[in-house]
Amino acid sequence: MNELTKYIEHLLASTTLTGGWLSFVTLSVLCATVALIAWLVYMLCVKVLAPITVRITRRTDVVWDDYLLNPQVLRSACHVVPAIVVWLLMPPLFFAYPIIQALLMKATAIYITVAAMRLVVAFISSLKLFDTNNDTRSAAQQYFHSFCGVLKIIVLFLGVIIIISIVIDRSPLTLLAGLGATSAVLMLVFKDSITGLVAGIRLTSNNMVRKGDWITMDKAGANGVVEDITLSTVKVRNFDQTIVTVPPQKLIEDSFQNWQGMQEGIGRRVKRVLYIDFRSIAIVNDELKQKLAADGLMKKEEMKGEVVNLTLFRRYMDRWLAQRDDVVKEATYFVRQLEPTANGLPIEIYFFLKQKEWKSYENHLAEIMERMYALVPVFGMRIYQRI
């Protein structure tokens, strides 16, 4: 840099500039030269080095370099390099002006710190791209996702401490040592993040909810699929395409229902009740027995002696469920009586459907229940209905 300064002074010596004007013009030319060098270095990084790095990472067999050296990280790194160039070359030009030199050194140091913070935050964000293509997220992945959020907070916190230390000319370690007195204020500022972190750890360590789970929480109006879990929010996309954000601590404090076990199980449960009018429950006469046998609903040997129509109905529904292909045979299924009520005798039908998808599940359930409703009069009974 000294040789460049002498060369510029030699060029300007042939002009009419003298004294203070010569020094001013020389300093201006040197500053412009440093700015040009920094701009050229930035363009070299953006236009040449970054694209070459992206092409190299795309041609490699491994996948991790595509995420860690993505364009966003490389662009953030490109902002650091020219700042270092300015920090190395600019302040020495103002050795004759100590105040300006000190201000330039502080300004460039602050800019380098901010650029480095952006680079580290972008790098941490790129770590979360490893599970972007997955619809579901394991407990370990979710914990790592939350841990990345904590790392961002730590980086930002340390960056602010370094910037303050640069401004007041104090060591960052001295500032960190003095933070004990202000811990209460920091706890208040980062209260939501701390409580979210604790709640997130409890959610993931107990495997209570993961990305891709279907959850319902009536108090929060959530009934849909979990899209993302961060330190401060759990994002749920409802089936009506609305987005609901729930604080993680709310999922810990209040109860919610996770349907993931049903989705991963052998079937989806059905538990329905219909009410039979007590006045329609009776002993089956010979005419009804003949009709049921003619319709192929019951066999004659099943209707010997005095038999109740409700008993025959339960036997038929139980056998009919066992014959359906959409009912899970390995799971429990039955038709039973519940405690009598003033609204009639409750008959509960309990089974599991193989169809778990919402629309298919509702269609098959409707077919079964509609047949059940239609067969009640065939067995000589009536469904209780308040008039």
- Quick one: angle between helices 19-44 and 2-13, nearest 10? 130
Task: Tell which residue, 82, 162, 50, has the closest CA to residue 114.
Answer: 162
203 and 217 part of one domain? yes
Cα 313-332-257 angle, rounded to 5 deg: 115
| Exposed/middle/buried for residue 366 (C-beta within 10 Å: 0-12, 13-18, 19+) | exposed
123 and 242 part of one domain? no
Among residues 133, 158, 179, which one ends one of the domains?
133
60 and 73 part of one domain? yes
Q: What is the pLDDT of residues 268-327, one digit of tens each?
A: 889 999 999 999 999 999 999 999 999 889 988 888 888 999 999 999 999 999 999 999
Count of domains observed in the chain: 3
88 and 201 part of one domain? no
264 to 206, 225, 228, 357: CA distances (angstroms) = 17, 15, 20, 12
Among residues 231, 258, 285, which one ends one of the domains?
258
Please give the backbone phi and psi of residue 347, each rounded to the nearest 5 degrees, phi first. Answer: -115, 115
36 and 20 part of one domain? yes
Average pLDDT score over residue span 20-26 = 59
280 and 353 part of one domain? yes
- 386 inside domain: no
116 and 146 part of one domain? no
Is the CB of residue 236 less than 8 Å from the CB of residue 215? yes
Beta strands at 214-217 and 257-258: parallel, antiparallel or unpaired: antiparallel
32 and 123 part of one domain? yes
β-pair partners for 109 = none
Q: What is the pLDDT of residues 105-121, one digit of tens each?
A: 888 888 888 888 888 88
Taking the C-alpha atoms of residue 158 and residue 148, their distance in angstroms, rounded to an integer, is: 15
331 and 349 part of one domain? yes
> pTM score, two decimals?
0.47
247 and 322 part of one domain? no
Residue in the structure block whose two tokens are 């030269």:
33
119 and 211 part of one domain? no
- Is the torsion defined by CA of 243, 248, 254, 259 positive or negative? positive
Among residues 88, 111, 133, which one ends one of the domains?
133
Supply the DSSP string of 34-65, one letter for each residue.
Answer: HHHHHHHHHHHIIIIIHHHHHHHHHHSS-SHH
pLDDT-derived band at 184 (thresholds 50, 70, 90) equals low
- 277 inside domain: yes
- 301 inside domain: yes
- pLDDT at residue 278 in the model: 92
Question: Residue 359 belongs to what domain range?
Answer: 265-378
107 and 203 part of one domain? no
